[in-house]
Structure 1
């Protein structure tokens, strides 16, 4: 675990894979949009170090954080075409290719992280993952962004009515767009790389992200209030170009898939263990944190959002997830 945590702050030369034996047979370019201070980078460096070590240098991994190779859509396109080998992005960014994956974005569908992990790592997640191959991608797993919470400039969000009239930045998840519109906010889709400036200049008043993203993108500098609504679990997807993966030897494929699984497990653990610490740091820096949220009121009003997904994609996946949750 120490080796995993220490990765933040490694030199650029190490992150870009400078110290690699000349005998490397395969190079994997891994890209994500998060800052180097984010746990997505921690996962990436762990993946790099372990893959290179276990392959005895036959695989070189180069990391490109902070959107160096483009925004989320561009990275996904790059991974599909083979310009990028591995991309990590919010699962919502893949729903244009695999609409069924939007089930994981539905508000309040995952009452606990344990249920989310069982769904994503089990039969349901495997079924969704299989849909990616027709788009040239293989899913290595689903890292964690975390539970989404709301920040804004106006005041605490305790009940759905408190969102009325807010200019709300949203991602491209149809479910979240529908939810905020249903609650009377005015949703606007803005890329995360442009969000700090949009909040600072008043283009939008509010946004929703997991706590780790609020910290790593420093949204607390331009937002006063954090309300722990936990209205949706937000998974990432770690994908590799399918042809690139098939071009690896059987042993190299095993190394890549095993290390990805370990890296995701460790990143999830760190997300959980550091969450309260991050919340405390936000409070220390002057953010007003509100835990007094009427979760039942939010849950009662989001059913039309679920109905919209069901109308477009059927109810099989929703029913399976709900039933699995009841069995826990």
Structure 2
């Protein structure tokens, strides 16, 4: 009997120990190549979360769309198949239309104002709306200012866009913008874009500098015009139930590390942009900066009007008020 009792006690201790030191594994997925700053952010997040939770939370990274395209990853994060997704904020505006205000062309005249809005009361108000869709917003990393590339020639004025077969993402604002400029917008997943450019399915696209370089679009595009027509944020979002299942201390670590990772990635994006442009030029890309921004802003005003007519002006006005 004593032996049985001792065995029972030992078993209880073993299972108690397992329970006390249970590990949580988080799958983090994004669509960018592992050379992109999104992967840099993911690695920082992984290492710091593991270190600060003493290994109780471990993160496994799945870059380059290994777990599906952006929509599949978002669906996976909402259902819990994936724990954390990093994707363009534009991919989430169907769930929360208010987030579409951040995507409007020429909304943010500089990065610091974008950060102020995204990290402040307006951005947090939009973040809270994702909870009802099963997502806990951890932060808004930087995708960057979108610029146009094409194979026809430099883009300096709105008329230079007319007639281009322009690949667009699923942002309604950008689709409406390029339609207003006389281009032929074609929605394509970013994973299919290189081949589409190479084969002539489309002859132009718009992305931040880092994406142009990491996806090697410069190999199939001759001209880069620094139009900076829209600031593009990323979204770092976690399955809400998974987040709530963490201990209070683990939640605190995840939120703190996410904020630090976003700040680090934004800083690197700014610091590296000039060298990335130089690298594109060295590869043969013809870069022009003489863009008539005022003419473009006037030409795309109907995009703002259309957004406000459909969604109201509350978020737009709140953003503009923050910039004063």
Is contact 1:91–1:101 with CA below 8 Å preserved after alignment?
yes
Deviation readout 1:178-213 (Å, 9 max, x if unpaired): 000000000000000000000000000100000000
Q: Which residue of 1 aligns with 2:107?
A: 109
What is the distance in 2 between the residues matched to 1:134 and 1:217? 33
Deviation readout 1:1-58 (Å, 9 max, x if unpaired): xxxxxxxxxxxxxxxxxxxxxx551011000000000000000000000000011100
> Helix, strand or coil for the counterpart of 1:37?
coil
What is the distance in 1 between the residues matched to 2:283 and 2:22? 45
Q: Which residue of 1 aligns with 2:10?
A: none
Is contact 1:145–1:234 with CA below 8 Å preserved after alignment?
yes
Q: Which residue of 1 aligns with 2:31?
A: 33
Q: How far did residue 102 of structure 1 move?
A: 0.3
What is the distance in 1 between the residues matched to 2:255 and 2:202? 40
What is the distance in 2 between the residues matched to 1:131 and 1:312? 18
Q: How far did residue 302 of structure 1 move?
A: 1.2
TM-score, structure 1 as length reference: 0.92
Moved over 3 A (4+): none
Q: How far did residue 323 of structure 1 move?
A: 2.0
> Helix, strand or coil for the counterpart of 1:151?
strand
Q: Which residue of 1 aligns with 2:146?
A: 148
> Helix, strand or coil for the counterpart of 2:54?
coil
Of the three residues 245, 248, 263, the one matched with 2:246 is 248
What is the distance in 2 between the residues matched to 1:245 and 1:87? 13
Query: Where does the alignment leave 5 or more consecutive residues of structure 1 unmatched?
Result: 1-22
Q: Which residue of 2 aligns with 1:75?
A: 73
What is the distance in 2 between the residues matched to 1:263 and 1:180? 33
> Helix, strand or coil for the counterpart of 1:292?
coil
Aligned-residue RMSD, C-alpha: 0.6
Q: Which residue of 1 aligns with 2:276?
A: 278
Counterparts of residues 209-220 of structure 1 (less than 5 Å): 209-220=207-218
Is contact 1:40–1:267 with CA below 8 Å preserved after alignment?
yes
Q: How many residues align?
A: 304
Please tell me whether residue 45 in structure 1 is matched to residue 20 in structure 2.
no
> Helix, strand or coil for the counterpart of 1:138?
strand
Structure 2 CA distance for partners of 1:278 and 1:24, relative to 1, 3 Å: farther
Of the three residues 194, 197, 216, the one matched with 1:196 is 194
